[in-house]
Amino acid sequence: MAIILVDEDLCTQCGICSVVCPMSIIDPAADENIFPVVRDEMACMCIACGHCEITCPTQAITLNVRPNEKEECTVGAGTLSTDDLGYYLKKRRSVRHFTKDPVTKEDILQVLDIVRYAPSGSNGQPVQWTIVHDPEDVITVAALTIEWMKTLLSTDHPMAGYVPGLIQAWEHGHDTICRDAPHLLVAHVPEASPIAAVDGIIALSHFDIAAKAFGIGTCWAGFVSMAVLSYEPLRRELGIPVGRTCAFVMMFGHPKYKTYGLPRRNPAQVTWR
């Protein structure tokens, strides 16, 4: 099966597809009668990144991976001014107070449809998702995280001195683990991969940023993320498949409060070489 499909009527033989291919497997047009091609013996090296397709000025190239889904960007689509982009990102907050209104599954899937375009090593796309949608199940996750914290008491774990206050707050009815968030998003990746965990963080960062446009607030759930890596009851509750591991967990829901300004941040520390 051909890896790339070339419309010979549209191809100008400019050679861009060959230049941008990160695997250098596209032979450029040699003359007016020979068009770009991936030889059969090189096809296995294709990572389906799509650079060849999306940089073709005449849309002559189609990556032969679900070709019926090919989508051409309209002129100006996705263009943001530097001011708009800057304010959008600067206004992003870690939300720790949520309304009781659930985020619809449809909205969650729309955000994840954007997130699937996050970069990953060699375009491996190793990230899969578990969504804890029922708020009662989120409470169960928080309670199991507290159980894990109790196992750290009187140990030399770095968290040992920190967890008593969290446990006490929980026992007094304050959820300092999941902050009464209605939902959790769990990114899990192959545990044998040395780089997939980073791919998970990148994907979650995309969710973190895109969610705001849908009126969704997010916060990185560090306590749950630590617990699930070593506490089997929590791993079972979240249903992490065998052979995969949690990259990180994010709590999310509709923010209870609006923001009306930008906080201060330290200046960027930059070294020029």
Q: In this structure, what CATH number is given to the domain that contains residue 157? A: 3.40.109.10
Rg of the chain, C-alpha, whole Å: 23
- pLDDT tens, 53-65? 999 999 999 999 9
Residue 73: the pLDDT is 85
Tell me the residue range of the domain where 30 lies: 4-69
Residue 72: the pLDDT is 86
Position 264 in a domain: no
The structure's pTM equals: 0.92
Provide mean pLDDT across the span 140-144: 98
Judge if 160 and 229 occupy the same domain. Answer: yes
Phi/psi at 118 (5° precision): -60, 145
User: What total of structural domains would you count in the chain?
Assistant: 2
Position 150 in a domain: yes
DSSP 206: H
Helix (H) or strand (E) holding 46: none
- pLDDT tens, 6-28? 999 999 999 999 999 999 999 99
Q: How many CB atoms lie within 10 A of CB 7?
A: 13
Q: How confident is the model at residue 198 (pLDDT cuts 50, 70, 90)?
A: very high
Position 77 in a domain: no
Judge if 60 and 141 occupy the same domain. Answer: no
Last residue of a domain, one of 69, 97, 124: 69
Judge if 143 and 236 occupy the same domain. Answer: yes
Strands 61-63 and 4-6: antiparallel
Last residue of a domain, one of 17, 41, 69: 69
Position 267 in a domain: no
Judge if 192 and 137 occupy the same domain. Answer: yes
C-alpha span between 222 and 178 (Å, rounded): 9
Position 8 in a domain: yes
